[in-house]
A = this chain, B = another copy of it.
Amino acid sequence: MPIRRSALKSGPAKTETRQATSRGATREQVDAAIRTGLLTGRFIPGKAVTIRGLAAELGVSPMPVREVLQRLAAENALEVKPNGRVQVPDMTPARFDEVLKARLLLEPELAELALPHLTAGAAGDLQSIDDDIDRCLVSGDAEAYMRLNHAFHFSIYRATGSKVLLPLIDSLWLQFAPFMRTVYGRVGTASLVDRHKEAIRAIKLRDKQALRVAIAADISQGMGILGKEILAGT
């Protein structure tokens, strides 16, 4: 068997005995693995992902993988083709416009809703995340950047305790993240800029309008880079 690059694990296959797994623990583990794999761009759009393949990589039976794949397909993070094959959907200009529009409608709203729940401590955490992001930008670690950028935004949104809007935004991120990764692989991270500091300042000043503007600008700017690429490439 040829040694091929695993999309989910870098180390050798874990063969530990299954133990102390409470109700539905295996599925959660599989779900988390695939989900973070999508958010950090470890899956290539257009490339088919097989149930048995993932199951083997994660050392579980195909069963939990099947259910997780169905879940992610329901969130439009994955696409089930008519023949049953499942793959990361590739980005089209129309899809991209829709994702951008939806993000601009929902995320500033949720950020504003989060503002009353964001304490000074939360602002400090965001500051810390943003510092890490800056380090990733200069070092060019695209995967870490994507993970931290996700953490930055969702640290804000999660403060709302939202059970409706937050999952919608979650779905949106899962849809554009894999595409984002391919672009960063092409243009690097040096050209990336964000409005995180502006957002942090707005949070500290408790200025909800400024926060909306900062988040919206951050989205427009970040997605703008992607948008130019999608029109340039095929």
Contacts and interface: CB of A to CB of B under 8 A. Distances in A.
Interface of A: 23-24, 66-68, 70-76, 80, 82-84, 94-95, 98-99, 101-102, 105-106, 109, 161-165, 167-168, 171-172, 175
Contacts of A105: 105-106, 109
Contact of A164 (B102, B164, B167): B102
29 contacts: A23-B84, A24-B84, A66-B67, A67-B70, A70-B70, A70-B71, A70-B74, A71-B71, A72-B74, A74-B75, A75-B75, A76-B167, A94-B163, A95-B163, A95-B164, A98-B163, A98-B164, A98-B165, A99-B164, A101-B109, A101-B165, A102-B106, A102-B164, A102-B165, A105-B105, A164-B172, A167-B171, A168-B168, A168-B172
Q: Which 10 A-B pairs have the closest CB atoms?
A: A98-B164, A71-B74, A74-B74, A67-B70, A105-B105, A70-B71, A168-B168, A70-B70, A23-B84, A74-B75
Which one of A76, A106, A162 has the greatest number of beta carbons of chain B within 10 Å? A76
Contacts of A73: 71
Given A24-B84, A84-B23, A102-B106, A164 B67 contact: no
Contacts of A106: 102, 105-106
A164 B168 contact: no
Contacts of A168: 102, 168, 171-172
Given A70-B71, A75-B75, A76-B167, 9 more contacts: A23-B84, A67-B70, A74-B74, A94-B161, A98-B162, A98-B163, A105-B105, A168-B168, A168-B172
